[in-house]
Structure 1
Amino acid sequence: MLHILIDTFRDSILITGIVIIMMMMIESFNLEKHSGFFEKTGGSSLKQVLLAAILGSIPGCIGGFAAVSLYSKRLIGFGALTAMMIASCGDEAFVMLAMMPDRALLIFAILFLLAVFCGTGVDFYIKQRGLRKGAVMEGRDSSLVLRMTGKEADRMTGEEDRRRSLTLYRVVLTAATVFFAVALACGWLDHSHAAPEKGRMHIDLLSEWWMNMIFAILCIAMAVILCFRPDRFIKETLWHHILSRHLPVIFAWTFGVLLLIGILSEYIDISRWVSSNPAIMILLAVAIGIIPESGPHLIFVSLYAGGLVPFPVLLASCISQDGHSALPLLAEDKKSFAYTKLFKCVIALAAGYGTLLLL
């Protein structure tokens, strides 16, 4: 039980830290560029969907966290969020590349095309129904956020708002960002990428040290940005909004979900669910894919790599699951999390049974 708590706490810090760093960088970039880049994507649903699908196609949770951060700021729409979650395979993308690179690339291509098609379809449906962008969830649309951000940027053009001094907020944020960068570079927060060993298949995923280094570099870049941002931006936007409002909620939900999954994994042997019936396996793959966690999906990756289940089972599992990417979304917007998961399950079932009939 103690090792579950320790692993869960470490993983929660890692996920929360990455999300917070990305949110701070988005805020800083948005302020610096006066939202120019996101205004360009905000005017085109297809551009948003393509961007989100590309982010989701990146192995691991990097792209997923970035897309969720953009969505939480209402800079991309619900269709783009759906595209990211369909395209994402989470950490399991690495083991697929290692065990079956040819099939993995085929699956990634299928997921990308499916993500773009479904994402644009969702936005088209929302537009045809006369719903504003993002109406399925609580919050503001991207254009409103962009207008508010622009107004905030205008307010910060005054001499007082451009003041930079060595405040406690700046020191704490910069020190914490640098410490997080060191922790990533040194591997102090490395999380497990293996399926639970108790009565289950055990697979060691590829090391993600290079991903840690990328995030460490981003953290250092954020620390440099913190040295030059105005006091008001540091205090009001980063400290009071992102840290005080978002960080506790994201960490609490991430820790709670991971802890629950860890405890259940100690007593439930998921491998016993495996059946030789592909139709049942597709249902199980979609059901297990609902879990916002990297690990359970490895069962179907290993079964397919061993020739024990057909391709439709793995395809359905890849569509329904998204690794850790959905955890911040669960914390920030539960309604959007539920809608995207429901939609993904429908697509996964249709794709799984459809390919099963064709093969």
Structure 2
Amino acid sequence: MNSTTPQFERLVWLNFAQFRLTYKRLLLPISLIVLLLAEATREIVLTSLSDAFWAVASYVALTLALYHYLSRFFSGQHYLVTMYHRSRHYQVMFAALLGALPGCGGAIIVTTQFVSGRVGFGALVAVLTSTMGDAAFLLLASQPDIGILVIAIGIVVGCLSGWAINAIHKDDFLRPAQTHQSFRARCCRNRDRHIEQTAINLQGTFWKWLLVPTTLIASVNTFQVDVNQLLTLPQQSIEWLGAILIIISMLLWSVTKEINDYESTVAEDHKTTASHPMQKAAQDTNFVTAWVIVAFIAFELITFTANIDVSTTLANCGAWMPLMGLAIGLLPGCGPQILVTSLYLSGVAPLSAQLANAISNDGDALFPAIALAPKAALVASLYSALPALLVGYSYYFLFER
């Protein structure tokens, strides 16, 4: 009996492993379908999903498509990277500009260049201070004037912070010994799976064909025109269409990446340089949209089930809001930062919290920094928190108190 027990346990484990949830992100679209079918939550979830698709995802997709097509046009020699001067002063300025580019690509470039000895520690602090990650896409798509303002403030603060650090530390401060394997090479290993690539291709096709019509419908909605009435459709037809389309996009997104740890949860999906701009735009759009959905649904369900007015509750936090935005900004990855931006766009979080979060957050750039130069990453992140504290509370006391 004892000799057969290990074999029995092994057989049970193998059978269980066959049914394990490989793509844990499937929990999101499955949960959305369940909530949408449940009569008690249907109306709330339908409205939230419709708003997330027509008011957020469609505009984000358009913004990202334009961005990636322009990036493809100008990325031949990495124009800004080639303009680096040996001067520490100009290194900081161009690092801040690269960090200000929406997404995390520019910040990751500077982070890896610091490790390889091509830029100094001041440039690392500048890029981590100015970067806003994927949350910049959401802010630019929803409130372009505020988005440009926040990015501009990030550039100025990033430059000032980098120059101040140059006055304190040498370029090689906390730089580790060079490694022979890049962060990108490690994190992108074994990602050429057929099912994932098929889903990525379908994401690109999905937004390729829907980009123009969804943008047109979203634009009409922006002007407070009832699209159902305009097209003589039954009531809530457009709302249901938005909910169905966003669930389809989430189903495609959920099988493009496995969730193994914190990084794979909150970091954007890795894209190859050979990917079509529309595929890149689709991947980024669905990543941003997923976190927006989490914020919208959580906000509405908490308000509904607990009978709590989240807006009033957070508004009562008053002077603590910039500090809360700053604290979340210290978390690596773009996901938590998109939640903060979603709360700001919903009118729940004030602009002071958004500013503090935008300056303190390092997006996905903190992951390669932690992997390649953990001490430098920690100190640089703490340095970026100081101007975030100053800017956030300056705006709070000047305009919101």
TM norm structure 1 = 0.55
Report the residue type matching 1:190 in the other structure: Q
Stretch moving more, 284-293 or 116-125: 284-293
- Deviation string 1:321-351 (CA, Å, 9 cap, x unpaired) is 1221221111101001101111112221122
Question: Which residue does the alignment assign to 1:64?
Answer: 107
Given candidates 265, 268, 279, the residue that maps to 1:187 is 279
1:274/1:314 CA distance change after superposition, 3 Å: farther
Q: 1:353, 1:123 → 2: CA distance?
A: 25
- Deviation string 1:219-255 (CA, Å, 9 cap, x unpaired) is xxxxxxxxxxxxxxxxxxxxxxxxxxxxxxxxxxxxx
Q: How many residue pairs are counted as aligned between the two chains?
A: 222
How far apart are residue 196 of structure 1 and its match? 4.1
Question: Which residue does the alignment assign to 1:16?
Answer: none
Report the residue type matching 2:283 in the other structure: D
Which stretches of structure 1, 4 residues or longer, exceed 6 Å deviation after superposition? 271-274
- Helix, strand or coil: the match of 2:288? coil
How far apart are residue 315 of structure 1 and its match? 0.3
Query: Structure 1: 5+ residue runs without aligned partners?
Result: 8-28, 30-36, 127-131, 141-174, 204-270
Question: Which residue does the alignment assign to 1:4?
Answer: 24
1:76/1:183 CA distance change after superposition, 3 Å: same
Alignment of 1:288-307 (within 5 A): 288-307=328-347
- Helix, strand or coil: the match of 1:54? helix
Q: 1:68, 1:93 → 2: CA distance?
A: 19
How far apart are residue 279 of structure 1 and its match? 2.0
Contact 1:312 1:356 in 2 (8 A): yes
- Helix, strand or coil: the match of 1:296? helix
Contact 1:138 1:333 in 2 (8 A): yes
1:111/1:199 CA distance change after superposition, 3 Å: closer
Q: 2:165, 2:291 → 1: CA distance?
A: 36
Question: Which residue does the alignment assign to 1:50?
Answer: 93
Alignment of 1:218-297 (within 5 A): 275-276=314-315, 277-297=317-337
Report the residue type matching 2:289 in the other structure: A
Higher Cα radius of gyration: 2
1:86/1:199 CA distance change after superposition, 3 Å: closer
Q: 1:335, 1:180 → 2: CA distance?
A: 29
- Deviation string 1:111-145 (CA, Å, 9 cap, x unpaired) is 1011101100000112xxxxx422233347xxxxx
How far apart are residue 195 of structure 1 and its match? 4.5
- Deviation string 1:155-208 (CA, Å, 9 cap, x unpaired) is xxxxxxxxxxxxxxxxxxxx9xxx9455556839935223547863269xxxxx
How far apart are residue 282 of structure 1 and its match? 1.7
- Helix, strand or coil: the match of 2:176? coil
1:70/1:312 CA distance change after superposition, 3 Å: same
How far apart are residue 63 of structure 1 and its match? 0.7
Q: 1:186, 1:106 → 2: CA distance?
A: 27
Question: Which residue does the alignment assign to 1:100?
Answer: 143
Q: Does 1:334 align with 2:377?
A: no
CA RMSD of aligned residues (A): 3.4
Question: Which residue does the alignment assign to 1:137?
Answer: 175
Report the residue type matching 2:279 in the other structure: G
Q: 1:3, 1:336 → 2: CA distance?
A: 33
Report the residue type matching 2:118 in the other structure: L
1:311/1:272 CA distance change after superposition, 3 Å: closer
Report the residue type matching 2:288 in the other structure: H
TM norm structure 2 = 0.49
Q: Does 1:309 align with 2:349?
A: yes
- Deviation string 1:268-295 (CA, Å, 9 cap, x unpaired) is xxx8997221322222211111111112
1:134/1:274 CA distance change after superposition, 3 Å: farther
1:181/1:53 CA distance change after superposition, 3 Å: closer
Q: Does 1:200 align with 2:295?
A: yes
1:180/1:138 CA distance change after superposition, 3 Å: closer
Contact 1:278 1:313 in 2 (8 A): no
How far apart are residue 62 of structure 1 and its match? 1.7
How far apart are residue 320 of structure 1 and its match? 1.1
1:180/1:304 CA distance change after superposition, 3 Å: closer
